[in-house]
Structure 1
Amino acid sequence: MTIFAYSYSDPLLGDEPVPWGEEVDRHYSDLGQRHQFQALLTDLATDCPDYLLLRRLDELGDNLAEIGDRLQHLENFALQVIATEPPYQTGITLDKADLGQLFRTMGDRLRQQKIQRGHAKNRRQCLPPPGRAPYGYKRGQDRYLIDRSTAPVVKDFCEHFLLFGSLRGAVRHLEQRFGKKIAVSTGRNWLTNPVYRGHLHYCDGKTMLKTHAAILNPGEAAQIDRLLRRNRSLAPRSASAPRCLAGLVQCQNCGSALTIARVTRRHQAQEYLYLRPLTCPQTPKCRAIAYDQVFQATIQKICQDLPNLTQQSQGPAPREQQAQLQAEVQQKEALIAALPTLAAQGIFDPDTAAQRRYTLHNEIAQLQAQLNQLPPANLQAIATTLSLESFWYDLSEVERRFYLREFLAQIQIQRTGSQEWQIQLNFNFSTSFRYTES
């Protein structure tokens, strides 16, 4: 028994060649063109097998007429055609009585593939995906254009989130100021959608950079990503709490998070702030600690250790990694610049050159994302400024909250006595340090 197999892959649709099993005596595979199918027909005239395996009948042609003619041509030989994938799979062979239904199914599939090919060609040219433009944009001829009537709404929403760090608060602000009601999930999509950063992200997972005017600049986009990443570890109400230590302090003895308690005296305007455990299982319960003492101890320790800590993180390894990534980006940009020359010389055909350009743009986007995750180049200068105690006391509570959450993952209180305690700072980018205050 002799078995031949034929498969066709469309590069626009991302089809992969089929690895047939060892029972197949001869395999013919086409990519984009059907030259191997013509070779198959030539070989069938002299060496006809018992069976011919196909994945799907629509691999025989681009339309129903071609498929019907080629299927009839194959049946003129003394062989059996077997399709292995649904809905064409029949178990052993194709029954002519079922061809009508199969051809209707193939017609639907061919129309779908034609639409997908059109979308794939648009992606190669970095054109916007089909459908309505995102809120804040309108469709142009070949790119998204900023809608001057709605883009300020998105911009104000993002700026409010950058200022207060609260997603739900930004949603409420949008309704109060503009009368625009959106869901929290919609607001999160605005903050993370590459479209508002000037990029296009397609359904195949690839991202094209700088395809249209951006509403958010790269600095704002990176800051939004950091805020969202930090807020995942915080309670929802702590994200926009008025005090800068909210959501950061934890009691190491009982494992409870410390909340800020506000105490006032009758007929007096002065208030006192304390940090007390939310759910302390110990008896007696852990005592409350004055908020100002913990804040002052935290600032002193940050000013003492942050410069040395940033020097360690700014060592040669991150710099070498940054230089290596930048070199790779420049190399790929040089390849993109050389594609028109290669196409003019006939080395690449237009479709291959467009596909290569599309792939290189996506690889550059991935490298750029890795660069954005590295420590900033001016981290040492920032640490020098933050190491001044006067700097912290000149900030507002919102600004203190931003910087503390930028560098601190957690502040842990370890009690060594009824009135004595130690503070341990867990930084976001290095090991923890300990400060003792009694």
Structure 2
Amino acid sequence: MKIIAYLYSDPVLESPPDPAIFGWEIDRIYRDLGDRAQLDRLLAECESDGADYLLIRRLEELGDSVQQVCDAMEKLEFLGVQVVPTETEVNPLNPKISRADLLKSIAEIQRDRHSRQIRKAHAKNRIKALPPPGKAPYGYRRGKDRYALDRAAAVVVKDFFEHFLLYGSLRGAVRYLERKHGKKISVTTGRRWLTNPAYRGDLRYRNGAVISNTHVPIVSREEAAQVDRLLRRNRKMSPRTASAPRSLAGLAVCGECDSPMTVSRVTSYHSDREYLYLRPIRCPKQSKCKALPYDRLLQQTIEAICRDLPEAVAQLEMPDEGRVEGEFKGAIAEKETLLSQLPELCDRGILDSETAELRAYKLRTEISQLQRQQAQLPPVNLREIARAVSIPQFWLDLSESERRFYFREFIRHIEIIRQENSWNLRVLFIF
């Protein structure tokens, strides 16, 4: 008994499948990429040498239309080769199949062919770095072959990003957008804006591939990397804490009852003066842990940072940032060199135009990935930052929102250590 197999894949749409999916008891496997030259060879060798079974994944792999599939099946049946589709629920070659199931199988082939044609058209546009189908993101309009800036809307998006970078609060940036520009969006939409590659000058497609520098960006690479870091940092906090106006919100923890602490505001009767306190949210003790004055805790936190941060940074074993960045630049330059050599290879006849376009697409996606990783490297040396923020005057000149931004860059949490008639604190850094 002779068993053969046939695999067809379009390199524009999918990666070549693993031949081992049919098992190991196969006499020969014929594989086609894009065209069906091996299918013609299979039919010719079946006519001369014969075969008992042909394994395929789906019937539609036998042709680009229903008529071509039927012609191939008819010839195989005439040669006495039984076709076995492994991924099809209904085998139309089964002599006991009903007419309804046969019509259903033909309809599935037609739907698959139509779907494949649409996906192939989209894939060709993707290889040429054309915008994906659908409406352009807010801030852009669709041009002939790329996104073009909608200058009025782009100002709104730019202002949204700048506010988020300044204060690190997504909800605050959403409220600011409505207050200043009258543009009302949800928090979910705001988060999509912050993570959308289109605003960074890149295109992201449905398959997850990203191609860099396809149109004019609204946000620079450095700003985009900072946005990603802020989002990762805020993800560890509750949404309300991440946008709280006070700098110690979400950082203080009571060492006695292990409860997070929240900022409470108290005002005096017939007075505009207010008092801020930090109190435990969920204290399980019968005699609740007392609230602590916010200003004193803030002052001690600044003193602890100025005293302990340089020593904590000095003990870190950090890689050579210059060497790491140089490795990224070298890898990017190497792929850009390969990309520039493709036209010459086409002129010499080594590559055809379709293969060159596909290779260029893969190189551009790899370059985009390397550029995103490079942009996320620390922009400056951590030891230099530690020296700058270890000056008390640096903290005193900041607003509460600005202090909140810097506190969350360095602090994991602040543990309040209560004593009999006093209290102390311990600052735990994120590194």
The answer for the alignment partner of 2:301 in structure 1 is: 298
The answer for the alignment partner of 2:37 in structure 1 is: 35
The answer for the alignment partner of 1:12 in structure 2 is: 12
CA distance in 2, matches of 1:342, 1:96: 54
C-alpha displacement of 1:147: 0.8
Which of 62, 69, 72 in structure 2 is aligned with 1:70?
72
State the identity %.
50
CA distance in 1, matches of 2:10, 2:192: 33
- Contact kept, 8 Å, 2:226 with 2:376, in 1: the verdict is no
1:162-211 deviations in Å (ceiling 9; x for gaps): 33333233333333333333222111111111111111111111111111
Structure 2 letter corresponding to 1:219: E
CA distance in 1, matches of 2:68, 2:53: 21
- Contact kept, 8 Å, 1:138 with 1:145, in 2: the verdict is yes
Aligned pair in 2 of structure 1 residues 12, 287: CA closer, same or farther (>3 Å)?
same
The answer for the alignment partner of 1:49 in structure 2 is: 51
- Contact kept, 8 Å, 1:81 with 1:94, in 2: the verdict is no
Aligned pair in 2 of structure 1 residues 30, 53: CA closer, same or farther (>3 Å)?
same
CA distance in 1, matches of 2:335, 2:308: 40
C-alpha displacement of 1:21: 1.5
Pairs within 5 Å for 1:13-412: 13-17=13-17, 18-19=19-20, 20-86=22-88, 88-90=90-92, 92=94, 97=99, 99-313=102-316, 315-412=318-415
Aligned with 1:12: secondary structure?
Answer: coil
C-alpha displacement of 1:6: 1.3
- Contact kept, 8 Å, 1:83 with 1:94, in 2: the verdict is no
1:9-60 deviations in Å (ceiling 9; x for gaps): 1111114324221232222111222222122122112221122222222111
CA distance in 2, matches of 1:202, 1:211: 13
C-alpha displacement of 1:117: 0.8
1:373-410 deviations in Å (ceiling 9; x for gaps): 33333433332221111111111112111111122121
C-alpha displacement of 1:315: 3.4
- Contact kept, 8 Å, 2:7 with 2:56, in 1: the verdict is yes
The higher-RCO structure (CA 8 Å, 6+ apart) is: 2
CA distance in 1, matches of 2:7, 2:264: 71
Question: Alignment length, in residue pairs?
Answer: 428
1:349-374 deviations in Å (ceiling 9; x for gaps): 22222112211222222222322333
The answer for the alignment partner of 1:435 in structure 2 is: none
Aligned with 2:83: secondary structure?
Answer: strand
Q: How high is the TM-score relative to the length of structure 2?
A: 0.91
Structure 2 letter corresponding to 1:138: R
C-alpha displacement of 1:92: 4.8
CA distance in 2, matches of 1:208, 1:69: 41
Structure 2 letter corresponding to 1:335: L
- Contact kept, 8 Å, 1:56 with 1:88, in 2: the verdict is no
Structure 1 letter corresponding to 2:203: L
The answer for the alignment partner of 2:420 in structure 1 is: 418
- Contact kept, 8 Å, 1:314 with 1:375, in 2: the verdict is no
- Contact kept, 8 Å, 1:30 with 1:37, in 2: the verdict is yes
CA distance in 2, matches of 1:94, 1:124: 45
Structure 2 letter corresponding to 1:29: R
Aligned with 2:156: secondary structure?
Answer: helix
- Contact kept, 8 Å, 2:167 with 2:402, in 1: the verdict is no
Q: How high is the TM-score relative to the length of structure 1?
A: 0.90
- Contact kept, 8 Å, 2:313 with 2:386, in 1: the verdict is yes
Q: What is the RMSD of the two structures over their aligned residues, measured on CA atoms?
A: 2.4
Structure 1 letter corresponding to 2:420: S
